[in-house]
Structure 1
Amino acid sequence: MSPRHVAPALVARAVGVTIEGRAILDGVDLDVRPGEVLVLVGPNGAGKSTLLGVLTGDLEPSSGSVEVDGRPVGSVRPRELARARAVLPQQQRLAFGFRAREVVEMGRAPWHRTPAAADDLAVIAAAEERADVTHLATRLFPTLSGGEQARVSFARVLAQATPVLLLDEPTAALDLQHQEAVLRVARDEAAAGAAVVVVLHDLSLAAAYADRVCVLSDGRVRAVGPPREVLTAALLTEVYEHAVDVIEHAGHLVVVPVRAPRAPDPTPDLTPDPTSSPRPEEDPCPAV
């Protein structure tokens, strides 16, 4: 069944968030459906991470409502909520020197003392392999690079095995290979029935991996829909206040910022300076 014909896993209605008198989100309506990757894009300060925080239930909106599986997200008990959705935050903060394997194991905490706990070892091993962190299992988390920490945290999210995944800039610290790998896994999760929400800055990645894109600007939804309908040069130029071209390459849309031509490198001037003193000729037979 197409995702558009499935009941939403998360629903936001007329969501507003006001902080210190400033409207961060204003009247946001959004459905997150099982079986799809929904990507949130927009310039800095558009409200992407704030909206994700509201969807996770970690941030209470000033107005409007959010429902998970048809229930107000604020009414769901924390352990039950942790079995319904997994969250990858922008910053990977751990106060203690856990090993990477221990961080991934944290994803299984919501399933402690349930029949699902019998699968812990297999689920953890699979999550580590999919995130390409198996070889990091015994390393101390704080000693890992930023990209390695991000992938270990992504493995934790996978190990949590929830029907909803909420990922805040999962590719920000990653090299090209792992950016593509993480988003392929996100697509695989959606293909298996999960509802996946991803915050991205790279518009070309959004075009390549999203089923739907939500463009945010100044706390409002400007457009939601398939990438080819939403990621237009006109809308993106307006929202980002910078001209862009949207081209097609190998069957995918690519968003390219319009740049001024680069000035050619100056040609070195090899003309002798008439004001400089000539170098004295060297005597081929210096006196001894």
Structure 2
Amino acid sequence: MTAPGATVRARGVGVAVDGHRILDGVDVDVRPGELLALVGPNGAGKSTLLGVLSGDTVPTTGTVELGGRELRRHAARDLARVRGVQLQQQGLAFGFRVEDVVRMGRSPWHRTPAEDDDERVVAEAMERADVAALGQRHFPTLSGGEQARTSFARLLAQATPVLMLDEPTAALDIRHQEALLDVLRRTVRAGAAAVVVLHDLSLAAAYADRVCVLADGRVRADGPPAEVLTGALLSEVYGHPVDVVEHAGHLLVVPVRTPSPLQEVL
């Protein structure tokens, strides 16, 4: 089994579907102690890259390693003990209670010594994701944001050293967006590795240690937010003028809006 703190390393990764190339020659690392944000416009390949890094999508070309060993050589159960994944779609068709959904995250540790910690780990995960009060609610009755927080709690309960999240903040209000990313950053500071797909560039700037900008299936930039999130690059990549400004020590990414004719008259 791969030791905690393992690096996920992708080199020359390409993915083609029905002759359409979604990723092309992507190199990226997910390293312990770092929170990596994948950003880019719709169709850039962010979710596909996350799928490749997690082992759920097999690349057409290139290699992915976890802890120096090819990802495809890891047994499924061992892989589930090393990396946890939170997808955009929750995919639960039955009326499980929230507590039961979070407890599903412990399944990779069944019949191992770690199973003895299940109750404590589940309770802590629910507190950290702010779903403890929802424990007896049935998952389908929850709002989209509550479902997302429950899925985050399940990811935390899995207790893996590598965490992968696909747009986990999309359905959350401001408070819970900030809280989720703060918990994720604290987990990274404790030695985990994390990669998260984000659409909110200001959130990426505030919480990520590194930002990887994707466009047309290729890496356009990869580095610290202050170096990568520039108005010139983002305007080109997103096809819309963007300003990057500093406020209270944080970078804010703001779209440039052309005044409407009514505004110009007023």
Q: Which residue does the alignment assign to 2:125?
A: 127
Q: Which residue does the alignment assign to 2:149?
A: 151
For residue 99 of structure 2, what is the amino acid of its counterpart? R
Seq. identity, %: 69
Determine if contact 1:232/1:246 at 8 Å carries over to the other structure.
yes
User: How far is 1:75 from its partner?
Assistant: 1.0
Q: Which residue does the alignment assign to 2:135?
A: 137
Q: Which residue does the alignment assign to 1:251?
A: 249
Determine if contact 1:8/1:31 at 8 Å carries over to the other structure.
no
CA distance in 1: counterparts of 2:68 and 2:186, whole angstroms? 25
User: How far is 1:244 from its partner?
Assistant: 0.5
Determine if contact 2:6/2:161 at 8 Å carries over to the other structure.
no
For residue 32 of structure 2, what is the amino acid of its counterpart? P
User: How far is 1:266 from its partner?
Assistant: 8.2
CA distance in 2: counterparts of 1:266 and 1:233, whole angstroms? 29
Rate the CA distance shift 1:266–1:230 in 2: closer, same or farther, 3 A.
closer
Q: 1:220 aligns with which of 218, 223, 228?
A: 218
Q: Which residue does the alignment assign to 2:110?
A: 112
Deviations 1:155-194 (A, max 9, x none): 0000000000000000000001000000001101100100
How does the TM-score come out when normalised to structure 1? 0.89
CA distance in 2: counterparts of 1:26 and 1:134, whole angstroms? 42
User: How far is 1:95 from its partner?
Assistant: 1.7
Q: Which runs of 4+ in 1 moved over 6 A?
A: none
Deviations 1:14-42 (A, max 9, x none): 00000010000000001110001000000
Determine if contact 2:6/2:162 at 8 Å carries over to the other structure.
no
Could you tell me which runs of 5 or more consecutive residues in structure 2 were left unpaired when the two chains were aligned: none
Q: Which residue does the alignment assign to 1:284?
A: none
How does the TM-score come out when normalised to structure 2? 0.96
Rate the CA distance shift 1:102–1:239 in 2: closer, same or farther, 3 A.
same
CA RMSD between the two structures: 1.3
Count of paired positions: 261
User: 1:189 aligned to 2:193?
Assistant: no
Q: 2:77 aligns with which of 55, 76, 79?
A: 79
User: How far is 1:264 from its partner?
Assistant: 3.4
User: How far is 1:265 from its partner?
Assistant: 9.6
Could you tell me which runs of 5 or more consecutive residues in structure 1 were left unpaired when the two chains were aligned: 1-6, 268-288
SS in 2 for 1:81: helix
CA distance in 2: counterparts of 1:78 and 1:142, whole angstroms? 28
CA distance in 2: counterparts of 1:266 and 1:132, whole angstroms? 47
For residue 23 of structure 1, what is the amino acid of its counterpart? R
1:23-42 equivalences under 5 Å are: 23-42=21-40
> Whose radius of gyration is greater, 1 or 2?
1
Determine if contact 1:24/1:219 at 8 Å carries over to the other structure.
yes
Deviations 1:88-144 (A, max 9, x none): 001111121111000000000000111111111010000000000001110010110
CA distance in 2: counterparts of 1:265 and 1:214, whole angstroms? 38
CA distance in 2: counterparts of 1:261 and 1:209, whole angstroms? 32
**Higher mean displacement: 79-88 or 90-99:** 90-99
CA distance in 1: counterparts of 2:252 and 2:131, whole angstroms? 30
User: How far is 1:8 from its partner?
Assistant: 5.8
Deviations 1:196-241 (A, max 9, x none): 0000000000000000000000000000000000000000000000
Q: Which residue does the alignment assign to 1:44?
A: 42
Q: Which residue does the alignment assign to 2:15?
A: 17
CA distance in 2: counterparts of 1:241 and 1:64, whole angstroms? 29
User: How far is 1:69 from its partner?
Assistant: 1.1
